[in-house]
Structure 1
Amino acid sequence: MEQFINLVRIQINLKGLFSYGNTLILCISGGQDSNLLYLIFTVLKYQYNLPLVLVYCNHYWQKDSVLNQQNLTRLVYLNKHPIIFCTPFFLVKQGEFNAAFWRYTSLQRICFFVNADLVLTGHTSTDVVESFLFYLIRGSQSRLITQFQNITLNEYSKLYFFTVKKTTLRKLIDSRLNIIINTSANLLKVIKPIQNLTRYEVYHLINFFYFPIWVDQTNFSMRYARNRIRYQLLPLIRFYFNPKTDINVHRFLNTLFDDITFLDYLTLKLKDLNNITKQTNFFSYTFAFFFSCPYIFQKRLLVEGFNQIKVRQFNYKNLELILKFLYIQFYKPELRKKPIILIINKKIKVVVNYSVFYFYSL
């Protein structure tokens, strides 16, 4: 156990996951991953002087979750740690996205109430591989690769306090808002300290200490895509293609993250140097500059511009439509003799005026 604690301590010091005296929220579910995280930080909190607050989110999807709540109460009572039990005031629909949206918005509110700086989660390296395959199959953009790092910054549009009506919050859940990319600067910093440990190592550590755990039955239900990846897809890949799939995926993700970080840096430099306007409600480029850039930077410049004007609920189809429209305007300059206005998805307005094009948020 001491070796694993030292491994986590090395990761904390090398990557600067948190500072001395930070107030931390530790998400605990009663499972083996979060329980091991709790054991490790029960030791580390004295070395880093960390005020630790535990949070358990109960979806009330299972009857025995109440028994798990009682078990966690005994655990924190013995160790004299504060714990917050978060329960929904409406029925959370069963589904990975709905549950994650409710948990992260609840954590954001709790961080505000207890003045916490960081949120700790018990994600392991096996979870990283499963998440990568999940996002890859879903066709997510490469920016989501940053979620696999030890530190993740999640943004939210607003804080949902008790003034929000139940019907309004249900509409927000049903509209499937993106909990990772949204429209404000309300940041929730999530840290994954045991991400270098595999689920196999965590299992044997918990068994060695005879630590009581609660098994979530939804982890075995094949109605969830993540469980199908865990129990069907990954075993097939490991058996028939490569038994070292997990190691290779981690190596690929580290390389890809470095490449994405470098491309993001170049994109921001190009945007700052060539964006004609410095306003927050619109941005503009000249046709000469925009089409002198490679195709990959054209898309990235548009995405960064949309982030600037806080328009982030657009998809790949909208991006391709905008690029096609700009290509037509560039190669047929006679069309630009008069100003042209294009409205896309009732949220983005494109104005072409001679050699310059502008983007506005509606």
Structure 2
Amino acid sequence: MTQTYLHNKFLTIILKCQNLRKPVSILIAISGGKDSLCLIKLVEDFNHTYNYLYDIEYIYVDHQWRADSQRNIKHLLNYTCITNNNTYIYQIHKAHMSESTVRKVRYQIILQHAIKHKTQIIFTAHNQTDQLETFLLNLIRGTGLEGLSSLPLIRQIKNHIHIIRPLIKMNTGDIIWFCHKFNLPIWSDKTNFYYSNSRNRIRYELLPYLKGYFSPMIEDNIINFLSLSSIENEYIKQNAIKLYINSRHSYYIAFNYKVIQYQHLALKRRVFHLFFYYNFNKHLNHKILNKLIEYMHIKNQRKISVIWENLKINLYKNWVYIQ
């Protein structure tokens, strides 16, 4: 087997993942594109050499947006069948969903499959360029530090399942070179060139513009910024989790705001976000959040109630609780 720069990089990334230090079952989310084929090739070559991973399965979610989706599936199955691993195909039957909605549905399908089959690790083929594009999309939408630090190498989700992105340190240019070197049968998806898609416009217009007119090193600079932001975000997140655990009620959906009242504003905001996301899977509105933090500091206050998305949020006797 020919060892390339990406093979060595993949090996380094795999060895960094503590979750892969023991035999685990792995579900690999794929498409017919260059990133997925690169990931399949790297995984199969790695396993052929080290026999380290076991019980590998592939999963593909068909949005059925394109007229050639059936041919794409056949093309993908022709390639994955040489791996002797199972490939699962799911189809989304609801048409006219937004891109963000389809992305959420796709993740739910993959997650439910992993839970059903007791899979511990999910691999996705997100690369460094995807990370750059996601950063710019989130920045335009007005995200905070958490959103800027999206698409990390490893993310833990429910039921002790981890998402790992082994290509996140590899850029599109290296992946294209890798696919050409090994003659991987990339399926050309014409929707990747529709400028009605915000991500495509960022990829083909905004990033080249920034590189050409502001800094040829813009991609490296953004990646460095994201790396630093991720470290700082993780520090704030860990401290916020400790505060939330110390402040929450042992029985009711409530937490004692006196525990966080004199903490830094960044930690207070995080604790409120954790409370609503953990209990209701909701992202708290910024205006409501600012009101709640302001109400926390009113001396000798009576009971205060705020209505938000059918939830009655109460502040009374040092507690934030929901009716």
Do Structure 1 and Structure 2 share a fold, with TM-score over 0.5? yes
Aligned-residue identity in percent: 22
Match of 1:68 in 2: 72
State whether residues 5 and 40 of structure 1, in contact with CA within 8 Å, keep that contact through their aligned partners in structure 2: yes
- Relative distance call for 1:80 and 1:222 in structure 2 (3 A) is same
RMSD over aligned Cα, in angstroms?
Answer: 2.2
Match of 1:225 in 2: 198
- By how many angstroms is 1:311 displaced? 5.6
Q: How many correspondences in the alignment?
A: 319
Aligned amino acid, residue 244 of structure 1:
M
Match of 2:187 in 1: 214
2:251 maps to 1:279: yes
- Relative distance call for 1:144 and 1:186 in structure 2 (3 A) is farther
What is the CA deviation profile of residues 256-287 of structure 1, one whole-angstrom value per residue up to 9, with x for unaligned ones?
A: 111111122233344445x274335111223x
- Relative distance call for 1:151 and 1:234 in structure 2 (3 A) is same
What secondary structure does 1:129 align onto? helix
State whether residues 121 and 190 of structure 1, in contact with CA within 8 Å, keep that contact through their aligned partners in structure 2: yes
Comparing 115-124 and 41-50, the one that deviates more = 41-50
- By how many angstroms is 1:186 displaced? 4.6
Where do 1:294-305 residues align within 5 Å? 294-305=264-275
Match of 2:215 in 1: 242
Match of 2:310 in 1: 346
Aligned amino acid, residue 125 of structure 2:
G
Where do 1:136-151 residues align within 5 Å? 136-151=139-154
Match of 2:30 in 1: 28
- Relative distance call for 1:280 and 1:222 in structure 2 (3 A) is farther
Choose from 89, 96, 100 the match for 2:103.
100
What secondary structure does 2:14 align onto? helix
What secondary structure does 1:70 align onto? helix
What secondary structure does 2:320 align onto? strand
State whether residues 305 and 312 of structure 2, in contact with CA within 8 Å, keep that contact through their aligned partners in structure 1: no
- Relative distance call for 1:98 and 1:269 in structure 2 (3 A) is closer
Where do 1:68-87 residues align within 5 Å? 68-87=72-91
CA distance in 2, matches of 1:276, 1:317: 23
- By how many angstroms is 1:12 displaced? 1.2
CA distance in 1, matches of 2:303, 2:129: 54
Q: So what's the TM-score if we normalise by structure 2? A: 0.90
Structure 1: where are the runs of 5+ without partners?
A: 155-184
CA distance in 1, matches of 2:277, 2:125: 30
State whether residues 45 and 51 of structure 1, in contact with CA within 8 Å, keep that contact through their aligned partners in structure 2: no
CA distance in 2, matches of 1:290, 1:102: 36
Aligned amino acid, residue 359 of structure 1:
V
What is the CA deviation profile of residues 48-97 of structure 1, one whole-angstrom value per residue up to 9, with x for unaligned ones?
A: 14211111111111121211211122222233221111112x32424321
Choose from 52, 57, 70 the match for 2:56.
52
- Relative distance call for 1:105 and 1:343 in structure 2 (3 A) is same
Q: So what's the TM-score if we normalise by structure 1? A: 0.81
- Relative distance call for 1:271 and 1:74 in structure 2 (3 A) is closer
Aligned amino acid, residue 319 of structure 1:
L
What secondary structure does 1:351 align onto? strand
2:110 maps to 1:114: no
Match of 1:255 in 2: 228
CA distance in 1, matches of 2:33, 2:136: 23
Structure 2: where are the runs of 5+ without partners?
A: none
CA distance in 2, matches of 1:94, 1:307: 24
- Relative distance call for 1:59 and 1:306 in structure 2 (3 A) is closer
CA distance in 1, matches of 2:80, 2:304: 64
CA distance in 2, matches of 1:272, 1:57: 37
Match of 1:181 in 2: none
Comparing 109-118 and 26-35, the one that deviates more = 109-118
Choose from 175, 179, 190 the match for 1:202.
175
CA distance in 2, matches of 1:49, 1:100: 27
CA distance in 1, matches of 2:315, 2:175: 56
- Relative distance call for 1:42 and 1:53 in structure 2 (3 A) is same
What secondary structure does 2:20 align onto? coil
- Relative distance call for 1:74 and 1:296 in structure 2 (3 A) is closer
Match of 1:173 in 2: none
- Relative distance call for 1:123 and 1:54 in structure 2 (3 A) is same
- Relative distance call for 1:35 and 1:343 in structure 2 (3 A) is same
State whether residues 20 and 50 of structure 1, in contact with CA within 8 Å, keep that contact through their aligned partners in structure 2: no
What secondary structure does 1:24 align onto? strand
